[in-house]
Amino acid sequence: MSISDFEGLICPACSNPLDEEFLAKTLTCSHCKTNLKDKKYLAFIEYLILHGIIDVNFFDHTLYGEEVGRTTEEEELHDETDPNDYEDTSKRINYDEKHDLKEVTTDEEEFREWDGIEEDWQEFNKKGETDKNNK
């Protein structure tokens, strides 16, 4: 073995040197016959693509099947919010149940004593008009 053998590519499965021309044709190791076109060796394949040794289609289902398989509807439906990330503040809020809205309420007896409650509303309005005319 020469020094140039150590400077070349090494098989990620068996650690033996790889021939670039053989890799470009078959993408298998000539020593252990391992098919390197596998998700397990994705980083190695991307290294080979980066250096221009091989050309792999990014729509190849053997390598990128999961990423390509997702549809746009699945991406839209994927909810990235986690309800556990948000603090439940309802337990910390102290509600004042005896709040005073300063509302004026009328007593029932006082309401019944009001002039005109038993009259028809039209008669009451006529009575009011006659009072205005008399003044």
Q: How many CA atoms lie within 13 A of 83 on its CB side?
A: 2
Are the C-beta atoms of 63 and 45 separated by less than 8 Å?
A: yes
pLDDT digits (tens, 9 = 90+) for 57-79: 766 666 766 655 566 666 666 66
* Residue extents of the structural domains in the chain: 3-70
Q: pTM here? A: 0.42
Q: How far is CA 125 from CA 5, 119, 120, 133, 135, in A?
A: 112, 10, 9, 12, 16
pLDDT category at 4 given cuts 50, 70, 90 is very low
Which residue do the tokens 């021309």 mark? 21
pLDDT > 90: what percent of the chain?
0
More confident residue, 15 or 104: 15
